[in-house]
Chain A
């Protein structure tokens, strides 16, 4: 029973990690807190759903389409919501407010498009098959989800560590001023980072839509709220931190639902965030200078 719950927690948690990864990537490179990341996730899920329902495309194609849609939407978001602020050297507060506005617009559009209905993937989108592994019932979908998450993360890390473009992104994250002096084009970096971030959200959207077999306009909000907990536990901007904390939150949530009550899951998860902040203002794996008070000697 416990092993079964742990497995479920790991599966959900790995998708949380994927979602939080895009969020933390944007923060790590551009210092932007994208409050519309949940809306990108939701639109990615819709794109994947339409690919299946309207064009009869297979599951794999839905994932790709969800990723591309999320990526493109995220880039548009940058142009509309963030770039005008960057040009004006606005403080981080402005970016949060602007993306809250963008989030509202994206949610409202989805609400009208679907008339507030919950949409579902067709029954045959993914074969329902179970395996017994070490006494635990594992669904084929769960295995595929974990494989997709692992492949995506490996792909992302490879891109950031091994390709020229990835090295430029990391240079910008390290020091934007210096990287500009080195001739790195900030326009292309922003495009890539926003696209990657949105694509991760889009993939996570399709996966979550399949796991719970429901796609609706509010599906991004709980994920965004959980992503906050994930990135504070994992440390803003840290990729391994986001993954570890994502798994942790997924497990905590599933265990709370099965041993306490479904309603208490949020209370437990968010109280955890509070406790961590109380003990370590920069998060469990955060660097020393994250969000803590700047009033002490440095």
Chain B
């Protein structure tokens, strides 16, 4: 138990990061190159913190409202963003992060500016965070198995094929944005209820890079990708405690190495190898005609 006592806060952080990583995961899975999860998280976190500290709304309700607000915000920005592709989508979503950040810094009557919002009740502990991870992961798994998940996969791989099979790319991109917004809205609110205070700069470029790194390192197809990515990137700084100064350098190097040498991410690569091995074993017993390995 002492082990958990010492690492409790770290585990809680890892779980909360998983929720946010799911938000980044779902857009990348759908072939949407959005870097906007940090903006959605900021919307959720500020909505929850303001409601809880100024209007005394109970935390659970705040989190539901944050989820809806994030999803709603995702839906609004999806209207222009779903028309864009690739690089343009990435740039436009980065601009979105910057707009939200500037508003959080400068709309002081609402957000208290750079000081942030303090004395938020501590309502999220390790249990609540774990429940959120399981629930979000379950829904993402279900969606992944459904026709919508198939649409995401084929749109990500080849948009031309997708339209030739009758998939509505715009609709799928919109759905991905709404899901990403809702999940990040929830994740942001949970972050607020876990850490007593929030400041605008937490939702800036640093968060964008962290979430992207988690999903790239972990993997973009399997639901376990963002889970593993968040675990590694939350735990790594602890392992490197003596090397505080080199944390960002390690993170940057990890990002470069994984996208170059493990472009599919750890989980998807490992799952692919395992599947191939079990299939080969089955096939060698039977007929291997036509199978080129």
- A236 adjacent to B95 (CB under 8 Å): no
Q: How far is the CA of A108 from the CA of B244 in the complex (A)?
A: 11
Is the CB–CB distance between A221 and B83 below 8 Å? no
Q: Which residues of A contact B91 (CB under 8 A)?
A: 33, 228, 231-232, 273
Q: Quick check: B87 and A273 within 8 Å, CB to CB?
A: no
Q: Could you tell me the dominant secondary structure of chain A's interface residues?
A: helix
Closest chain A CB from B133 CB (angstroms): 24
Q: Is B90 a contact of A261 with CB atoms below 8 Å?
A: no
Q: CA A119 – CA B11 in complex, angstroms?
A: 39
Is residue B209 within 8 Å, beta carbon to beta carbon, of the partner chain?
yes
Among A8-16, A129-137, A177-185, A290-298, the one that faces the other chain is A290-298
Chain B residues whose C-beta falls within 8 Å of the C-beta of A293 in the assembled complex: 83-85, 169-170
CB<8 Å pairs between A and B, sample of 22: A85-B260, A100-B252, A101-B253, A101-B255, A102-B252, A105-B253, A108-B247, A221-B205, A228-B91, A228-B95, A229-B95, A232-B92, A263-B102, A263-B105, A263-B106, A266-B102, A267-B102, A273-B95, A277-B80, A277-B81, A281-B83, A292-B83
Asked if residues B99 and A94 are in contact (CB atoms below 8 Å), the reply is no
Interface size on A, residues (CB 8 A): 51
| A116, B101: Cα distance in complex, Å | 22
B215, chain A: closest CB distance, angstroms? 10
Contact B259 A290 (CB under 8 A): no
B50 at the interface (CB under 8 A from A): no
The answer, yes or no, to whether B7 is at the interface (CB within 8 Å) is: no
Tell me which of A236, A270, A282 has the highest count of chain B C-beta atoms within 10 A of its own C-beta. Answer: A270
Docked complex: B247-262 residues within 8 A CB-CB of A: 247-249, 251-256, 259-260
**Complex Cα gap A221–B101 (Å):** 14
CA distance A17 to B137 in the complex (A): 45
Residues from chain A with a CB closer than 8 A to the CB of B153 are none
When distances are taken between beta carbons in the complex, the residues of chain B under 8 Å from A232 are 88, 91-92
Does B89 belong to the interface (CB within 8 Å)?
Answer: yes
Whether A88 sits at the interface, judged by CB under 8 Å, is yes
Which A residues lie within 8 Å of B216 (CB)? Answer: 97
Q: Chain B residue with minimal CB distance to A271?
A: B99
Chain A residues within an 8 Å CB radius of B259: 85, 90, 94, 97-98, 101
A67 within 8 A of B: no
Please tell me if B177 contacts chain A, counting CB pairs below 8 Å.
no
Within 8 A of B (CB), among A214-268: 221, 225, 228-229, 231-232, 236, 261, 263-264, 266-267
Instruction: Report whether A94 and B260 are in contact in the complex, using a CB–CB cutoff of 8 Å.
Output: yes
Q: Is the CB–CB distance between B99 and A270 below 8 Å?
A: yes
* B window 207-232: CB within 8 A of A: 209, 212-213, 216
The verdict on B57 contacting chain A, using a C-beta distance below 8 Å, is no
CB pair B87–A33 under 8 Å, yes or no, is yes
Q: For B83, B89, B169, B260, which residue has the most chain A Cβ atoms within 10 angstroms?
A: B260
Pick the 8 closest A-B CB pairs, nearest first: A291-B88, A101-B255, A263-B106, A104-B252, A108-B248, A105-B252, A266-B102, A101-B256
Bound CA–CA A80/B216 (angstroms): 18
| Given known A-B contacts A98-B259, A232-B88, A291-B87, A274 and B95 have beta carbons under 8 A apart | yes
| Interface residue? B245 (CB, 8 A) | yes
**Interface pair B160/A294, CB less than 8 Å apart:** yes
Q: Is the CB of A74 closer than 8 A to any CB of chain B? A: no
B interface, how many residues as a size bin? 35 or more
Judge whether B256 and A277 touch: CB under 8 Å: no
Given A104-B209, A293-B85, A294-B160, A112 and B245 touching (CB < 8 A)?
A: yes
| Known contacts A112-B245, A270-B95; 12 further A-B pairs (Cβ under 8 A) | A84-B260, A96-B90, A97-B212, A97-B216, A101-B255, A102-B256, A263-B106, A266-B101, A270-B96, A274-B95, A277-B83, A291-B86
Inter-chain CA distance A273–B179, complex, in Å, is: 24
B102 proximity list for chain A (CB < 8 A): 263-264, 266-267, 270
B209 CB → nearest A CB, Å: 6
Which residues of chain A have C-beta atoms less than 8 A from B212's C-beta?
Answer: 97, 100
A190 contacts B by Cβ under 8 Å: no
Tell me how far the C-beta of A32 lies from the nearest C-beta in chain B, rounded to whole angstroms. 10
Given contacts A81-B256, A104-B248, contact A94 B84 (CB under 8 A): no
Instruction: Please measure, in the bound complex, the distance between the C-alpha atom of A103 and the C-alpha atom of B263, giving whole angstroms.
Output: 19
Minimum C-beta distance from A31 to chain B (A): 9
Closest to B168 in A: A295
Q: Mark B89-114, 1 if CB is under 8 A from A, else 0.
A: 11110111011011101100000000
Residues in A neighbouring B251, C-beta threshold 8 A: 101, 104
CB of B88 within 8 A of CB of A277, answer yes
Name B83's closest neighbour in chain A (CB-CB): A281
Q: Is A56 an interface residue (CB 8 A)?
A: no
- A236 and B96: CB pair below 8 A? no
Roughly how many angstroms separate A55 CA and B128 CA in the complex, as a whole number?
A: 59
B159 touches A228 (CB 8 A): no
Return chain B residues, CB-CB under 8 Å to A33. 87, 90-91
A278 contacts partner chain B, Cβ-Cβ < 8 Å: yes
> What residues of A have a CB within 8 angstroms of the CB of B92 in the complex?
232, 273-274, 277
Query: Within the complex, what minimum Cβ distance (angstroms) separates A177 from chain B?
Result: 20
Can you name the residue of chain B whose Cβ is closest to the Cβ of A100? B209
The answer to whether the Cβ of B163 comes within 8 Å of any Cβ in the partner chain is: yes
Q: Which chain A residues lie closer than 8 Å to B256 at the CB level?
A: 80-81, 98, 101-102, 105
